[in-house]
């Protein structure tokens, strides 16, 4: 037994592991899994006994050679465990990266990006030197293709030193659009848990619930073939979408949890349900089990306890006094000083101001006062107040889901929402227009930055979608085809298959939801493309 | 603070400058060493490098024109230098202004026996930021340690209000040598407030001279003496004539009739011509009437902007040399409002106001700490705060005990008594933290001196230090307001306003922007540009670029993708000095340093090119107007012509080396352009409008047959918005709305199987306009093949590629000062 | 002056809505004096949205606003606000994110 022999074996195995079981777009799930499992099995069959024996022998005989061999083989045999349990918690960035490179079983779908993700998680564990950060960034920037794992890692890395919360969120959402075939399962789980944690942190319980329950339709991994099998046409899907039953139909095509199984997400669901006072709180046993499986049992328990305990400590809306102006202004203050929870509340706020601004008696009284002060043009001041109110409303639009049918809608709110939506659409158009210009001029950005633009786009799109019930339709009608072009360019000219695929998926889903059948069909076809 | 009050103010004029002194009760205009009150803003540097200023220099304006400069105030902040070839020197306008200031400082010293180190300097209300900053710099160069800038009209109003009852609305009409400013002020409860400004940066006494010279040139031409403005060789002759014209103009303010005579014959192209032309007041008035009316139109425009009519104005304060012209006074009264009752000296009013403002700002001419007398008996030391000038007849003095008296008795009450002994305050209690507040009573329009006395716990009197202070009562004005809004130009040609007009200075604000384009370190010619603009327009390109904060790609270590957050902070100090900062959270870096943009230099070539395009545009416009039978439009075009002629003259002047007039022509051209754009819009409107109507019809029909319910609603909204824009004739807005209408229409239309074939054919027809015609032709060929195969849907990517090759609308960003943020 | 309530000139100067321009000048001068001397009483002012710190700049800005009829009228409107609960402090969510996610 010599060191040289060990090293040779090591490299042979390394090559072996490297060539098998790597997923990619176009690969089939079962086959992929078999290949991967086979590789792993082979490794264990070939080396497992020797490895175990050298541990046993080494410990029993206290033989330094045997112990050395055992230790040296450990990263090959159980690379992920080593990372997860030791190097990652210790924040050893480079070591995590190199060991994770051996972990084909867990990270094989993103062979280079997955280890980077692991290294980034390690990076997050403790304060790191500027050099380490630069090293990590450099690795990301050198990636030939950005896949799910690296996209997630990049999002985590940037969020670490970016104060822009919303962008952080969008980056993670962008990472979530990557296909499972190019995203290691741990990476997907990280995305889901990350989104869940953020939502909990911000007390966006509905968002938390949605993340915990998010499912992915089979359509997106099997492509339009599924439709053929089911005998459903794209236009039928789109019709379902416009009826609001898209999710039902998609579910019928087969689906699975979007982020894979995660106990943390199960707990999140329970937390959100409790916070929202759901009629059917989750059963005790499964929750207990999920908690047991969670990495941070105590903290999760604490979160759970806290939401259960927080009984209606919501601030009480100010009671009306009959003085329309004082009421409106006070409501204004109230609405501004804490998060608004519903569109109904927003509309009530709008109506309070309407009582001041558009009722003849209140308005006349104000005009009188203005004249007494020597205001030449009171109307102008009213316009400013209206502007102020509109701005306040605008700031809140998008915080709440604007919803479709409000019982007593406020014109001010409706108009402000429209205005906000238009402004946001304009920002989105500007962004996508800029991307289109870049594509036309063939100006290439480093891959991570192409991803960043996708995230920015998502962010702007999401803002539009939230600002009005019809925001999504408007947004998509303005940018859908340019986005498709961008993705095509990424695919054809830049071989960024995974990112392109993510954008196709986005375009397909949103195309269906907004009844752009034609674009949806094109993008569904594109999802089916093989690459890489 | 027991020294006499000494406040100094300077009017740093384009043509003439002056200084005034205020001792708390009366304002005195400082006499110059020559015995007059005015110091011409003229600087000469001789061969030996000796600098002379004022009257001494003025005499050489036409004799030694090359080495004698005036009007440099107009070039402040332009970065341009003026040459003094004899001495082989170059001087910046700031340095020349500093020379004038030094001369004024010396005059103050001569008359009052001290050289001020702190003073107030006036600037035109419509000075832009770089110009104000330049003025501050001039003051520093002149050796002043602390200055405040105040707007000329504010100073004028303060001075006028000092001597007469001030309630009501005022108009300060300031026509100087080269600029016209009008300001609307309102005073209430003795507080003066600027409501608004307007003006014409290029209208002044000099235009009156020019009008006379132009008249003179035609007269002389009849006599065979052909002097031309565009001939650099005639520069000297023109200057001589201009000087003679100015003299005649001033003479005509006093007498009915004058003669323009030159002492020495005029030498033109080697020939000598005697000049001896009579000019009477009536002719002169006929020549300048359009100029007068132009100024009054500006006043009316200002009133209109503030919802006022001429009848609402209580009085007009006239300021500046040309306001001595009787016809002007008559015209102002006829078209605007009565003149201020009290006779003010229009030439020195600004300086007087500046001195008054110094009192309000507490800007003692030598600093309050200059000579604190050392006393032997030591009382309780207190710090006092009070307005050095107050409108309020019963202001407060606030104090705080900072040192106990030697005898150690605690100060429990403080009393103030006025020096005329007619007022003694209530004893004010000294609080736990040593502070106290005493309510005083002032005598109107006087320097009120008070003594301060303390009482110990038991009521024994104790001394307090300082034992006296002075408050002047008079009209005051709030903090200096910003005269024009300042903001950041955005990529969509809008402006994000940081400071609205009227914001009290200093001010600081931060907004978050997002980049619209990626900037990568490698792309050396790329930069993230954040243009800073000043002006009241909604469209960024119409506002004046006053600076730009650039983040050049070469300083970046990593890519800033589109959508990167940028926090921009703008800060303005009292003197109008703008600083900007951009913080990019993503890379945790701060970028600073505004590239202070200067008014761009104006060469004859540039001007000529601009003038030529302007001519072409106007001619095209006129031709179209005739063809389309739009008489109103023709009338409007005709109204542009005088300004175009003006610009033409400016070009001549630029060729003759007169940078100032050239600048002015340039500025007028910009304004002209804004008007031409408006007229072009009027011309194009029918077409734009009918196109919009067609597109609306297209969208409406497709959406109603193939659109969804939501799309229908969205379209209805967009159409309503578009119609509103059509009513308002707002082309920009209409374009935005129509894009939406079109997109919605197209979305529905594309649901139709045949649609892509139509689109392809349409794009193919324009293939020759493509940026890459060869590629476009190849695409068209491929497309035809696809059509033959019948798979119309496959045409889509191809057609879109084809579109990509057709010219796109990148022009808008170009216009918005190339802004890289939204 | 972005915060209509917290920065409202009437609150900053602690003046009633019906005060005169003279009151504004006097009060502003007084407060500026107190602030410059570091008098504690002047350091904060009450608003319906809770107590706020007072600075010389704020006082000057408030004075400038109240002297312009249009702006004053505008500010008078916001000064009508009554105190509401929950305005002062906003309950923050659990800051567990850092601890929960992949530690
Ligand atoms: N009595 C007068 N009548 C007419 N114009 C005069 C008279 N006195 C001076 N001017 C003109 O006034 C102008 C200078 O005015 P001034 O207010 O000093 O200018 P500025 O404020 O630009 O320094 C010059 O054009 C001068 O010819
Ligand atoms: Mg002047």
Categorize the per-residue pLDDT at C31 as very low, low, confident or very high, splitting at 50, 70 and 90: very high
- Find the range with the poorest average confidence among A188-202, B422-436, B634-648, B690-704: B634-648
> Rounded to the nearest 5 degrees, what angle is found at the Cα of A208, between the Cα atoms of A204 and A214?
145
- Find the range with the poorest average confidence among A477-491, B103-117, B370-384, B724-738: B370-384
- Which of B13, B199, B205, B354 is the best mutation target for the ligand 1 pocket, counting ligand atoms within 8 Å of the beta carbon and taking the most? B205
Instruction: Give the Cα separation of A379 and B481 in Å (integer).
Output: 24
- Find the range with the poorest average confidence among A432-446, B352-366, B470-484: B470-484
Instruction: Give the Cα separation of A70 and A10 in Å (integer).
Output: 12
Interval A102-128: pLDDT, tens? 887 777 778 888 889 999 988 988 888
Backbone torsion region of residue A398, taken as left when φ is above 0, otherwise alpha when ψ lies between -120 and 50, otherwise beta: left
- Find the range with the poorest average confidence among A48-52, A164-168, A462-466: A164-168
Task: Name the 3-class secondary structure at B221.
Answer: helix
Q: Is B13 in the pocket of ligand 1 (CB under 6 A)?
A: yes
Categorize the per-residue pLDDT at B747 as very low, low, confident or very high, splitting at 50, 70 and 90: confident
Interval B544-575: pLDDT, tens? 777 888 888 888 888 887 778 889 998 887 66
- Which of B177, B246, B254, B350 is the best mutation target for the ligand 1 pocket, counting ligand atoms within 8 Å of the beta carbon and taking the most? B177
Tell me which range, A188-202, A312-326, A509-523, B85-99, is most confidently predicted by mean pLDDT. B85-99
Whole-number pLDDT of residue B810: 33
More confident call, B748 vs C100: B748
How large is the average pLDDT for residues B37-58?
92
Rg (CA), chain A: 28
Which positions in chain C touch B386 (Cβ < 8 Å)?
A: 29, 33
Tokens representing A24? 């990619």
Whole-number pLDDT of residue B370: 39
Does residue A214 carry a pLDDT above 50? yes
Q: Which residue has a Cα nearest atom 1 of ligand 1?
A: B250
How large is the average pLDDT for residues B234-261?
88
Tokens representing B529? 């540009």
Does residue B465 carry a pLDDT above 90? no
Whole-number pLDDT of residue A21: 44
Report the sign of the C-alpha dihedral through residues B188, B191, B195, B200, in that order.
positive
Whole-number pLDDT of residue A355: 85
Q: Is B321 in the pocket of ligand 1 (CB under 6 A)?
A: yes
Does residue C90 carry a pLDDT above 60? no
Whole-number pLDDT of residue B142: 94
Categorize the per-residue pLDDT at B371 as very low, low, confident or very high, splitting at 50, 70 and 90: very low
Whole-number pLDDT of residue B369: 45
Q: How far apart are the first and last CA of chain A?
A: 41
Return the percentage of chain C with pLDDT > 70, whole number.
Answer: 83
B residues 505..534 contacting C (CB < 8 A): 506-507
- Find the range with the poorest average confidence among B161-165, B463-467, B716-720, C87-91: C87-91
How large is the average pLDDT for residues B573-586?
78
Whole-number pLDDT of residue B481: 66
Categorize the per-residue pLDDT at B808 as very low, low, confident or very high, splitting at 50, 70 and 90: very low
Categorize the per-residue pLDDT at B248 as very low, low, confident or very high, splitting at 50, 70 and 90: very high
Does residue B210 carry a pLDDT above 60? yes
Average pLDDT, chain B: 82
B346 CA: nearest ligand 1 atom = 17
Do the Cβ atoms of B548 and B502 come closer than 8 Å? Answer: no
Nearest to B8 by CA among B155, B219, B202: B155
Does residue B811 carry a pLDDT above 50? no
Interval A452-495: pLDDT, tens? 889 999 999 988 888 777 788 888 888 888 899 899 888 888 88
Helix (H) or strand (E) segment spanning residue B814: helix B811-815
ipTM of the complex: 0.84
Question: CB C25 to CB B481 under 8 A?
Answer: no
- Find the range with the poorest average confidence among A219-233, A285-299, A355-369, B758-772: A219-233
- Find the range with the poorest average confidence among A230-244, B307-321, B594-608: B594-608
Does residue B814 carry a pLDDT above 60? no
Whole-number pLDDT of residue A7: 64
Q: Is B130 in the pocket of ligand 1 (CB under 6 A)?
A: no
Return the percentage of chain A with pLDDT > 70, whole number.
Answer: 84
- Find the range with the poorest average confidence among B113-122, B410-419, B669-678, C21-30: B669-678
Q: Which residue has a Cα nearest atom 9 of ligand 1?
A: B321
When CB atoms are compared, the residue of C36, C41, C60 closest to B504 is C60
More confident call, B392 vs A14: B392
Categorize the per-residue pLDDT at B321 as very low, low, confident or very high, splitting at 50, 70 and 90: very high
Categorize the per-residue pLDDT at B744 as very low, low, confident or very high, splitting at 50, 70 and 90: confident
* Chains near A (3 or more Cβ pairs under 8 Å): B, C
Tell me which range, A244-258, B101-115, B224-238, is most confidently predicted by mean pLDDT. B101-115
Whole-number pLDDT of residue B212: 93
CB contact set of A330 (below 8 Å; sequence gap of 6+): A318, C48, C80, C81, C82, C84
Whole-number pLDDT of residue B181: 87
Interval B20-45: pLDDT, tens? 999 888 899 999 988 889 999 999 99
Do the Cβ atoms of C65 and C72 come closer than 8 Å? Answer: yes
Which positions in chain B touch C25 (Cβ < 8 Å)?
A: 189, 191, 390-392, 395, 476
Which positions in chain B touch C61 (Cβ < 8 Å)?
A: 504, 507
Does residue A141 carry a pLDDT above 80? yes
Whole-number pLDDT of residue B372: 45
When CB atoms are compared, the residue of C32, C33, C67 closest to B193 is C67
Return the percentage of chain B with pLDDT > 90, whole number.
Answer: 20
Interface contact C99, partner A, CB < 8 A: yes
Does residue B328 carry a pLDDT above 90? yes
Instruction: Give the Cα separation of B51 and B667 in Å (integer).
Output: 32
Does residue A398 carry a pLDDT above 80? no
Whole-number pLDDT of residue B815: 41
Return the percentage of chain B with pLDDT > 70, whole number.
Answer: 89
B and C: number of Cβ contacts within 8 A? 75
Does residue B809 carry a pLDDT above 50? no
Interval A286-304: pLDDT, tens? 788 888 888 778 888 888 8
Task: Name the 3-class secondary structure at C57.
Answer: helix
CB contact set of B561 (below 8 Å; sequence gap of 6+): A445, A449, A452, A453, A456, B515, B518
Does residue A404 carry a pLDDT above 60? yes
Does residue A85 carry a pLDDT above 70? yes
Whole-number pLDDT of residue C1: 44
> Rounded to the nearest 5 degrees, what angle is found at the Cα of B773, between the Cα atoms of B768 and B776?
95
Ligand number with the minimum distance to the CA of B323: 1
Nearest to A511 by CA among A242, A255, A256, A253: A242
How large is the average pLDDT for residues B385-391?
84
Q: Is B71 in the pocket of ligand 1 (CB under 6 A)?
A: no
Does residue C93 carry a pLDDT above 70? no
Does residue C87 carry a pLDDT above 50? no
Whole-number pLDDT of residue A468: 76
Whole-number pLDDT of residue B600: 52
Q: Is B324 in the pocket of ligand 1 (CB under 6 A)?
A: yes
Whole-number pLDDT of residue B377: 55
Tell me which range, B63-77, B521-535, B767-781, is most confidently predicted by mean pLDDT. B63-77
Does residue A418 carry a pLDDT above 50? yes
Does residue B610 carry a pLDDT above 50? yes
Which positions in chain B touch A517 (Cβ < 8 Å)?
A: 751
Whole-number pLDDT of residue B144: 92
Does the model's pTM come out above 0.90? no
Whole-number pLDDT of residue A282: 62
Categorize the per-residue pLDDT at C98 as very low, low, confident or very high, splitting at 50, 70 and 90: low
Does residue B354 carry a pLDDT above 80? yes
Does residue B665 carry a pLDDT above 90? no
Alpha helices (H) in A375-516, listed in sequence order: 378-396, 411-440, 447-467, 471-492, 497-513
């Amino acid at each position: 037994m010599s060191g040289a022999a060990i090293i040779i074996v090591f490299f042979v195995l390394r090559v072996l592991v490297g060539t098998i079981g790597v997923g990619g777009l176009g690969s089939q799930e079962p086959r992929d899994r078999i290949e991967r499992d086979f590789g792993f099995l082979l490794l264990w069959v070939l080396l497992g006994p020797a490895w175990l024996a050298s541990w046993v022998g080494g410990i029993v005989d206290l033989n330094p050679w045997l112990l050395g061999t055992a230790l040296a083989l450990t990263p090959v045999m159980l690379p992920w465990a080593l990372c997860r349990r030791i190097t990652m918690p210790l924040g050893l960035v480079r070591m995590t990266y190199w060991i994770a490179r051996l972990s084909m079983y867990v990270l094989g779908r993103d062979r280079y990006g997955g280890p980077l993700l692991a290294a980034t998680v390690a990076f997050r564990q403790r304060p790191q030197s500027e050099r380490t950060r630069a090293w990590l960034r450099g690795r990301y920037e050198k990636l030939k293709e950005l896949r799910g794992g690296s996209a997630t890692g990049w999002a985590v890395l940037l969020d670490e030193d970016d104060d822009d919360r919303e962008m952080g969120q969008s980056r993670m959402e962008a990472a979530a659009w990557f296909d499972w075939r190019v995203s290691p399962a741990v990476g997907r789980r990280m995305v889901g848990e990350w989104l869940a944690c953020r939502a909990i942190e911000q007390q966006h319980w509905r968002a938390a619930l949605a993340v915990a329950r998010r499912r992915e339709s089979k359509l997106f991994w099997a492509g339009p073939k599924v439709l053929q099998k089911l005998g459903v046409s794209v236009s039928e899907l789109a019709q379902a979408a416009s009826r609001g039953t898209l999710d039902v139909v998609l579910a019928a095509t087969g689906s699975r949890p979007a982020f894979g199984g995660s106990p943390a997400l199960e707990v999140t669901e329970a937390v959100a349900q409790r916070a929202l006072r759901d009629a059917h709180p989750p059963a005790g046993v499964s929750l207990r089990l999920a908690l047991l499986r969670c990495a941070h049992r105590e903290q999760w328990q604490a979160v759970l306890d806290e939401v259960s305990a927080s009984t209606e400590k919501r601030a009480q809306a100010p009671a009306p006094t009959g003085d329309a102006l004082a009421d409106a202004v006070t409501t204004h203050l109230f609405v501004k000083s804490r998060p608004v929870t519903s569109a109904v509340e927003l509309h009530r706020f709008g109506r309070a101001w309407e009582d001041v601004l558009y009722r003849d008696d209140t308005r006349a009284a104000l005009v009188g006062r203005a004249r007494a002060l020597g205001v030449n043009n009171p109307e102008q001041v009213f316009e400013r107040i209206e502007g102020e109110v509109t701005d306040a409303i605008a700031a809140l639009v998008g915080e709440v889901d604007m919803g479709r049918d409000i019982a007593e809608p406020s014109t001010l709110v409706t108009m402000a929402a429209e205005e906000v939506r238009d402004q946001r659409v304009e920002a989105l158009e500007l962004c996508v227009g800029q991307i289109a210009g870049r594509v036309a001029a063939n100006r290439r950005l480093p891959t991570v930055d192409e991803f960043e633009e996708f995230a920015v786009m998502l962010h702007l799109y999401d803002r539009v979608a939230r600002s009005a019930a019809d925001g999504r339709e408007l947004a998509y009608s303005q940018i859908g085809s340019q986005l498709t072009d961008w993705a095509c360019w990424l695919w054809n000219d830049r071989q960024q298959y995974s990112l392109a695929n993510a954008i196709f998926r986005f375009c397909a889903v949103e195309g269906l939801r907004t009844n752009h059948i034609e674009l949806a069909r094109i993008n569904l076809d594109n999802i089916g493309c093989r690459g890489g | 603070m027991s020294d006499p009050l000494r406040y100094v103010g300077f009017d740093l004029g384009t043509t003439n400058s002056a200084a005034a002194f205020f001792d708390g009760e009366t304002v005195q205009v400082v006499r110059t060493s020559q015995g007059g009150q005015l110091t011409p803003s003229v600087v000469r540097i001789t061969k030996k490098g000796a600098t002379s200023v004022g009257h001494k220099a003025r005499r050489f304006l036409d004799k030694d024109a090359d080495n004698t400069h005036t009007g440099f105030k107009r070039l402040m902040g332009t970065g341009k230098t003026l040459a003094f070839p004899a001495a082989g020197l170059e001087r910046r306008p700031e340095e020349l202004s500093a020379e004038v200031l030094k001369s004024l400082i010396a005059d103050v010293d001569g008359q009052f026996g001290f050289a001020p180190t702190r003073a107030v300097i006036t600037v035109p209300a419509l000075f832009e930021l770089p110009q104000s900053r330049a003025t501050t710099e001039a003051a520093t160069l002149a050796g002043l340690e602390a200055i405040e800038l105040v707007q000329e009209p504010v100073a004028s109003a303060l001075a006028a209000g000092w001597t007469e009852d001030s309630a009501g609305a005022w108009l300060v009409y300031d026509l100087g040598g080269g600029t016209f400013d009008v300001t609307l002020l309102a005073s209430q409860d003795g507080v003066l407030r600027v409501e608004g400004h307007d003006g014409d940066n290029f209208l002044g006494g000099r235009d009156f001279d020019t009008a006379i010279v132009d008249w003179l040139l035609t007269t002389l031409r009849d006599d065979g003496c052909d002097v031309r403005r565009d001939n650099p060789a005639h520069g000297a002759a023109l200057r001589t004539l201009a000087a003679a014209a100015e003299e005649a103009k001033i003479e005509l303010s006093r007498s009915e009739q004058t003669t323009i005579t030159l002492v020495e014959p005029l030498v033109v192209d080697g020939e000598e011509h005697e000049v001896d032309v009579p000019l009477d007041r009536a002719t002169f008035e006929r020549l300048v009437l359009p100029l007068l009316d132009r100024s009054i139109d500006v006043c009316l425009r200002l009133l209109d902007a503030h919802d006022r009519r001429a009848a609402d104005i209580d009085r007009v304060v006239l300021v500046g040399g040309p306001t001595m012209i009787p016809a002007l006074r008559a015209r102002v009264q006829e078209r605007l409002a009565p003149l201020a009752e009290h006779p003010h000296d229009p030439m020195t009013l600004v300086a007087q106001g500046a001195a008054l403002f110094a009192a309000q700002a507490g800007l003692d001419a030598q600093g309050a700490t200059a000579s604190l007398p050392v006393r032997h008996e030591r009382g309780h030391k207190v710090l006092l705060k009070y307005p050095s000038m107050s409108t309020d007849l019963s202001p407060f003095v606030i104090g705080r005990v900072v040192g106990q008296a030697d005898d150690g008795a605690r100060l429990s009450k403080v009393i103030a008594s006025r020096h005329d002994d007619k007022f003694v305050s209530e004893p004010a209690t000294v609080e736990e933290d040593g502070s106290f507040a005493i309510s005083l009573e002032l005598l109107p329009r006087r320097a009120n001196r008070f003594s301060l006395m303390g009482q110990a716990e038991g009521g024994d009197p104790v001394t307090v230090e300082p034992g006296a202070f002075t408050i002047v009562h008079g009209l005051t004005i709030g903090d200096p307001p910003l005269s024009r809004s300042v903001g950041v130009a955005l990529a969509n040609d809008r402006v994000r306003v940081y400071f609205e007009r009227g914001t009290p200075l200093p001010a600081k604000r931060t907004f978050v922007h997002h980049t619209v384009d990626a900037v990568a370190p490698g792309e050396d010619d790329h930069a993230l540009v954040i243009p800073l603009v000043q002006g009241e327009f909604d469209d960024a390109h119409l506002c004046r670029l006053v600076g730009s904060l650039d983040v050049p790609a070469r300083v970046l270590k990593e890519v800033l993708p589109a959508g990167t957050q940028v926090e921009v902070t703008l800060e303005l100090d009292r003197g109008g000095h703008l600083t900007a900062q951009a913080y990019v959270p993503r890379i945790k870096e701060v970028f600073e340093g505004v590239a202070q943009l200067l008014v761009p230099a104006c060469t004859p070539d540039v001007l000529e090119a601009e003038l030529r395009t302007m001519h072409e545009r106007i001619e095209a416009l006129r031709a179209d107007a005739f063809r389309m039978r739009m008489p109103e439009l023709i009338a409007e075009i005709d109204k542009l012509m005088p300004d175009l002629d003006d610009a033409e003259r400016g070009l001549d002047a630029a060729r003759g080396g007169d940078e100032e007039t050239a600048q002015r022509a340039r500025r007028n051209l910009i304004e002209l352009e804004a008007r031409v754009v408006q007229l072009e819009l009027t011309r194009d409107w029918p077409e734009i409008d009918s196109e919009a109507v067609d597109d609306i019809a297209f969208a409406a029909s497709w959406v109603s047959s193939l659109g969804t319910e939501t799309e229908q609603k969205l379209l209805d909204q967009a159409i309503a918005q578009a119609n509103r824009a059509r009513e308002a004739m707002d082309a920009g807005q209409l374009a935005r709305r129509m894009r939406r209408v079109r997109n919605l229409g197209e979305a529905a239309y594309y649901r139709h199987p045949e649609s892509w074939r139509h689109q392809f054919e349409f794009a193919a027809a324009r293939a020759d306009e493509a940026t890459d015609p060869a590629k476009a032709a190849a695409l068209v060929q491929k497309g035809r093949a696809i059509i033959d195969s019948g798979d119309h849907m496959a045409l889509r990517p191809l057609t879109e590629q084809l579109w990509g090759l057709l010219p796109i609308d990148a022009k808008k960003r170009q216009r918005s000062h190339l802004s890289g943020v939204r | 002056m972005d915060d209509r309530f917290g920065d409202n000139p009437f609150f900053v100067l602690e003046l009633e809505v019906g005060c005169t321009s003279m009151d504004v000048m006097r009060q502003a001068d007084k407060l500026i004096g107190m602030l410059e001397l570091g008098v504690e009483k002047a350091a904060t002012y009450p608003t319906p949205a809770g107590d706020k710190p007072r600075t010389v700049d704020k006082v000057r800005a408030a004075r400038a606003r109240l002297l312009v009829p249009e702006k004053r009228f505008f500010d008078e409107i916001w000064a009508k606000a009554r105190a509401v609960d929950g305005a002062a402090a906003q309950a923050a969510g659990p800051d567990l994110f850092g601890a929960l996610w992949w530690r």
